Structure 1
C-alpha cells in the first residue's frame, strides 16, 4: 500500500483533513491544559486546580460519540468491491471497535495525568515517540517492511525525545505555578511514553479495520470507540477513581468535578470547545488513516508540537498574570533543540527531507509479498532471466 493513496481521494479532501486535524488537535491540547491550569471552588469550599484527567477523558469520548451524526451530513462512502476484504456490519464493527476503544481509554488517561505534571509543549513533544512504536508495530503487526530512511528518521526522533526528557526532568516548576518534583515529572514522562505505545497499537488496529474490512466508515469507528470509552469512564473508572486512596495519585472526586464546573463558567466554556475540537480532530485523523496509513497520521500528529508551543507562549506573554500559558526559561533552549531534532526526524520519516544515501523509490512493502518476490528473483536468476524479474520487482509506491 502506498503512503498516500491520492488516486482515490481528492487533493482538496486530503489538504482540508490535514489542516483541520492540525488546528483542532492543537486546540484540544491547549484547552485541555488550560482546564488543568484553572482554579475553582470545589465541594470543600476552597479553590484548587481542576486536575481532572478522567473527566477530560469522558468529554473526549463524548465528542467522539457525536461522530455518529457525521454520515447524516456527509456524502456516503462508496461500497468497496474487493474480495480480499472481510465482510463488515454495524454489529460486527461495534464488537471490533472494543479493542481500539480500550487502547484509546488507557492511552488518553495516562496522557492526561502526564499533562498535569508536564508543560503542554513538552508533553506533546514526548508524544513523538509514537513514531517509534508505530514503526515497530508496522513490522510485527501489519507485517510490512519499513524502508531504511524511515528507520533513520526514527533514530533521530529518539535523540530528540532524549533531549526533551532531560529538559522536562531538569525543569523545577510548571508554568502554572504548580510545584512538581523531578520524580513526578519522571512519572509523567513514563506515563506519556507508555501511552504512545498503547496509542500506536490503537491506530494500527484502526488501520486494519479501515483497510481490511468492507465499507467501514471512519465516523462509525470513531463513534463506537467513543461509546465504549464513555462507558469505561462513567460506569467503571469513575467509581474506582472515587474510592482509591488519595496517595495513589489516581483519586478523582466526580462530585467535586461538577461543583467546580458549577462555580466556573470558564471551565464549562472550555469543556464545550474541547468536545467540538476533539470531535473534528478524531474524525479527520481517522479519515487520514483511511486514505493513507496510521504511520502518516501519527507523523502529522507530531507536527502539532510547533503550533502548541507557540500558542502557549503567546497566551502567557499576552496575559502573564492570568496563570495560563507557558513561560520561556533557560531549559526552553534544550527543549527547542529537542523540538528541532524531533521535527527533522519526522520530516525524514515522511520523505520531506531526503538524503542521497537512501532509496526513496519504494514505500511500505508487505513482508510476505517481499519474501515471495525475493524467492522469485533467486529462482529466476538461476534461469538467466534476471531482467524480467527485476522489472517485476520494481513497482511504483503509489500503486501498492
Structure 2
C-alpha cells in the first residue's frame, strides 16, 4: 500500500478517533459521582478530575508500545532482524538527514509530552465548563499557533493566502466564543466548590456566563502549548528516524512519569483543598468506584492510542499544520452527535453564530 494511499486513511482515522476522544471526555464530565440519590440536583457532584483524565490519555498513548513489543518478541523467536512493516506500523522512512533515535535522545520526547500534559489538563478543565462543540471549535485556534510557530522554529514559509486563512480562523474562534456566552444558560452550573466559581462573583446568570468565558479562555491558552507540542514533534521526527508508534509510546511514558511526580505535591492538604481538581485521592475513588467513569476511561485510553498514532503519522508524512487542520475538521461530527444525544440544543441566535464560526474554521 503506497504512502499516498495511506494518507486519506490516516486523516479519516484521526477525525474518527478524535471525535470519540472529545465525546468520551464530555460524557465523563456529565457523570454523577457523589450524592447521586439527593433529590436536589444542585447538591449532586459531577466528575471533575482533569488530572486523572490527562493520566488516562498518557496511559492510552503507552498502549502504542504493545504492538511494537509483540513484533520484537516475534522477531526474537524467529531469530531474525526486527522490521516494522510499512503497511501495519507506518515505518519511518529514513532520509540522508535522519538518524536512528537511541540513548538519551529518546528523552527529547519529554518536551512534547510536558506540553501535552499542560495543554490537555487545561482543556479538560475548559471542557467541564463549556459544551463539547464549543470546546472543539475553540480548539480551532490551534491552526493559528501552529502556523506561526512553524514559521519561527521550523522556518516554513506561508503564502499570503495562508496568512489570510489563519486570520479567518481567528474570526471563527471569536464567533464561537461569542456563541458560548449566549448559550451559557443551558449549561448546568458546575460544583460550587470549584476553584473557578470562586473567581466569578455575582448573580447566578452572570456567574454562569463568567464560568463559560473562563472555560473558553483556558482552552485558547492551552492551544499555545499544543502548538509547541506539534512543532516539537515535527522537529524531532525530521531529525531522527522513529516510528509514530514508538514516538507516541515514549510521550505516554514520559507524560505518565511527569504526573506521578506531581502527585505527592498535589496531595499536600494545603494544595488539594484549593480545588477538587487537585484532590487526587478523591478523584481516584471517583474514577474507579463508578463503573461508568471507569469503563469510559478505558474506552478513552484506547481511542487516544489510535488518535495519537494517526496524528503523528500525519505529522511525519505531511506536516504539523496539516495535522492541526485535520483536528479542526472533527468539529462538525462532534456538534451533530451532541445535538442528537441531547447534550446541546439548537438556540437562536447562538447556534447560528456557532454555524458561522464553524464555517470560518474549516
Query: TM-score, normalising length from structure 1?
Result: 0.75
Task: Evaluate the alpha carbon distance shift between residue 250 and residue 237 of structure 1 in structure 2; reply closer, same or farther with a 3 A threshold.
Answer: farther
Which of residues 55, 58, 61 is equivalent to 1:58?
55
Label 1:298 to 1:239 Cα distance change in 2 as closer, same or farther (>3 A). Answer: same
Once residues 82 and 19 of structure 1 are traced to their aligned partners in structure 2, the CA distance between those partners, rounded to angstroms, is 27
Which residue of the other structure, out of 69, 88, 107, is the alignment partner of 2:119? Answer: 107
Instruction: Name which of 239, 257, 273 aligns with 1:212.
Output: 239
What's the secondary structure of 1:236's corresponding residue? helix
CA contact (8 A) 1:119 1:326 kept: yes
Aligned to 2:300: 274
Say which SS state the counterpart of residue 326 (structure 2) adopts: helix
Match of 2:3 in 1: 9
Deviates more, 1:239-248 or 1:144-153: 239-248
Matched with 1:82 is: 95
CA RMSD of aligned residues (A): 2.5
Cα distance per residue 1:231-275 (max 9 Å; x no partner):
122221464166355785474322222332444221122111111
Which is worse superposed, 93-102 or 246-255?
246-255
Aligned pairs (5 A) from 1:139-154: 139-154=151-166
How far the C-alpha of 1:149 sits from its partner, in A, is: 1.4
The answer to whether the 8 Å contact 2:61/2:308 transfers is: yes
Give the secondary structure class of the aligned counterpart of 2:242: coil
Task: Show the counterpart of 2:46.
Answer: 49
In structure 1, the partner of 2:193 is none
> Aligned in 2, Cα 1:144/1:259: closer, same or farther, shift over 3 Å?
closer
Asked if 2 retains the 8 angstrom alpha-carbon contact of 1:17 and 1:288, the reply is yes
The answer as to whether partners of 1:35 and 1:50 remain within 8 angstroms in 2 is yes
1:357-387: CA deviation from partner (whole Å, max 9, x where unpaired): xxxxxxxxxxxxxxxxxxxxxxxxxxxxxxx
Alignment of 1:100-139 (within 5 A): 100-139=112-151
Contact kept? 1:172, 1:182, Cα under 8 Å: yes
Q: Distance in 2 between matches of 1:105 and 1:238?
A: 17
Does the CA contact (< 8 Å) of 2:263 and 2:280 recur in 1?
A: no
* C-alpha displacement of 1:112: 0.5
Instruction: Give yes or no for the alignment of 1:302 onto 2:328.
Output: yes
Match of 1:328 in 2: 346
From the superposition, tell whether residues 299 and 123 of structure 1 become closer, same or farther in structure 2 (CA, over 3 Å). Answer: same
Q: What is the alpha-carbon distance in structure 2 between the residues aligned to residue 202 and residue 335 of structure 1?
A: 28
Conserved? CA contact 1:243–1:251, under 8 Å? no
**Alpha-carbon contact 2:111-2:229 (below 8 Å) kept:** yes
Using a 3 Å threshold, how does the CA distance of structure 1 residues 35 and 84 change in structure 2: closer, same or farther? same
Indicate how the Cα distance of structure 1 residues 217 and 108 shifts in structure 2: closer, same or farther if over 3 A, else same. same
Structure 2: 5+ residue runs without aligned partners? 72-83, 191-203
Q: Deviations over 1:209-228 (max 9, x none)?
A: 11222x21111111111111
Q: Deviations over 1:294-314 (max 9, x none)?
A: 000000000010011011111
Change (3 A) 1:186 1:291: same
* Cα shift at 1:326: 1.7
Residues 149 and 259 of structure 1: is their aligned pair in 2 closer, same or farther, counting only changes over 3 Å? Answer: same
Aligned residues: 325
Whole-Å separation in 2 of the counterparts to 1:264 and 1:315: 22
State how 1:1-400 maps to structure 2 within 5 Å.
9-11=3-5, 13-41=6-34, 47-71=44-68, 72=70, 75=85, 80-85=93-98, 87-176=99-188, 178=190, 181-213=208-240, 215-237=241-263, 239-240=265-266, 243-245=269-271, 248-249=274-275, 251-316=277-342, 325-330=343-348, 331-343=350-362
Task: Supply the distance in 1 between the matched residues of 2:264 and 2:138 (Cα, whole angstroms).
Answer: 27
Q: How far is the alpha carbon of 1:104 from its aligned partner?
A: 0.4
Q: Distance in 2 between matches of 1:113 and 1:261?
A: 16
More helix by share: 2
**Residue segments in structure 1 that go unaligned for 5+ positions in a row:** 1-6, 317-324, 344-400
TM-score (norm 2): 0.83
Determine helix, strand or coil for the equivalent of 2:3.
Answer: coil
